[in-house]
Amino acid sequence: MIQGGPAVGDDRAPVLRLRAAAVGYGEVTVVDGVDLELARGEVVALLGANGSGKTTLVRGLLGLATVHGGDIELFGEPVGHLTRRWRVGYVPQRHTVAGAIPSTVREVVASGRLPRRGLLARHGRSDRLAVRAALAEVGLAERDREAVSTLSGGQQRRVLIARALASEPELLVMDEPTAGVDAANQRALVDVMRRLAGRGVAVLVVTHEVGPMAAVVDRAVVLQAGRVRYQGPLTAQMLGASDGGRWDGAPQWDGAHWDGHHPPADDSLAGAPWVPDLATGRDAGPGGE
């Protein structure tokens, strides 16, 4: 179990609040006009096709992309001036841990504790406990001395989740956590999300496929061409019984949930000119990896 849990005090403010937020890189604005709030313990899925701006938006929350307009606040503080950044745990999109020198599961997870503990502080008892708890949370406590590179892709993903949990975050941001992960590891992931939400941790998960996570997702936000096209409960075809829960953002409209924006009627919109093919490559989904 993660100790401490969310800090108290300034927590009248939502965990995350975006108001008319625009985010991009350099001069290029990729997402625009995004309004979004996340409360403690809420699990929100951010959906959209490749190039819809999901990853860019998330990178904006993490301080890795530039806010071009509007406001992004975390715990009531503007994202650029967030003092304790470790309150946000980040699980990046890539499948594997990539360093050239072998490192153990424990070493990687402990590196997630560093921001909270401070650069010069000793790795003390509370830090060791937090690392152990994070490992236990993802079911890797027994494998902490193994080299990360010897684990399967799904297990390596769990290592990255544990690394994010080691700082005992109040918001967990996961980018495509189920892509390329086998069913058993997906179930483990869903269990982790459920327990975290139960403890009041907010979870924002960027994904192509809600499928395996449908049971824990409270709300979906659909991005299309850098704009929010839908925000609300999961819809039938997001769960996608027919195609294993795969959601490509554009063509499948159920006639009820496009929030007043022009509903795409069929597959003809795939590759339509206003669906940007971003040359940045920063928003590549699993297909672009």
Partner 1 sequence: MELLSLDFMQRALLAALLIGVAAPAVGVFLVQRRLSLVGDGLGHVALTGVAVGLLTRSAPVLTALVAAVAGAVAIELMRAYARTSGDVALAILFYGGIAGGVVLVSLSPGGTAANLTAYLFGAITTTTPADLVAFVVLTAVVLLLVIVLAPALFAISDDEEYARASGLPVLRLNLLLAVLVAVTVVTSMRVVGLLLVSALMIVPNAVGQLVARSFRSAVLVAVVVGAVCSVGGVVVSFYAATPSGGTIVLLTIAVFLAVATASGVRTRVRAARHARAEFHPHVHGEGCGHPPVLHDDHVDYAHDGHLHSAHTDAHGTHWDEHGTAPPADRAAGAAPDGPR
Binding site for partner 1 (CB under 8 A): 62-64, 82, 84-86, 88, 90, 92, 97-104, 107-108, 110-112, 114-115, 119-120, 123, 142, 145-147, 163, 167
Q: In the complex with partner 1, which residue's Cβ is closer, 203 or 250?
A: 203
The least distance separating partner 1 from the CB of residue 123, rounded to whole angstroms, comes to 7
The least distance separating partner 1 from the CB of residue 11, rounded to whole angstroms, comes to 19
Phi then psi for residue 25, to 5 deg, are -125, 135
Q: In the complex with partner 1, which residue's Cβ is closer, 27 or 241?
A: 27
Question: What does the alpha-carbon distance between residue 249 and residue 87 come to, in Å, rounded to a whole number?
Answer: 30
Q: In the complex with partner 1, which residue's Cβ is closer, 98 or 241?
A: 98
Q: In the complex with partner 1, which residue's Cβ is closer, 117 or 229?
A: 117
The least distance separating partner 1 from the CB of residue 114, rounded to whole angstroms, comes to 5
Amino acid in position 154: G
The least distance separating partner 1 from the CB of residue 199, rounded to whole angstroms, comes to 20
Name the DSSP class of 264: P
Residue 214 CA neighbour count, 13 Å, CB half: 16
- Write the CB contacts of 71 (distance below 8 Å, at least 6 apart in sequence): 17, 18, 19, 20, 21, 78
Question: What does the alpha-carbon distance between residue 30 and residue 52 come to, in Å, rounded to a whole number?
Answer: 8
Question: What does the alpha-carbon distance between residue 113 and residue 165 come to, in Å, rounded to a whole number?
Answer: 8
Question: What does the alpha-carbon distance between residue 236 and residue 226 come to, in Å, rounded to a whole number?
Answer: 23
Residue positions counted in the chain: 289
Helix (H), strand (E) at residue 35 = strand 28-38
Question: What does the alpha-carbon distance between residue 278 and residue 205 come to, in Å, rounded to a whole number?
Answer: 21
**Residues paired with residue 46 on neighbouring β-strands, in sequence order:** 206, 221
The least distance separating partner 1 from the CB of residue 87, rounded to whole angstroms, comes to 9
Q: In the complex with partner 1, which residue's Cβ is closer, 143 or 257?
A: 143
The least distance separating partner 1 from the CB of residue 99, rounded to whole angstroms, comes to 5
Q: In the complex with partner 1, which residue's Cβ is closer, 183 or 215?
A: 183
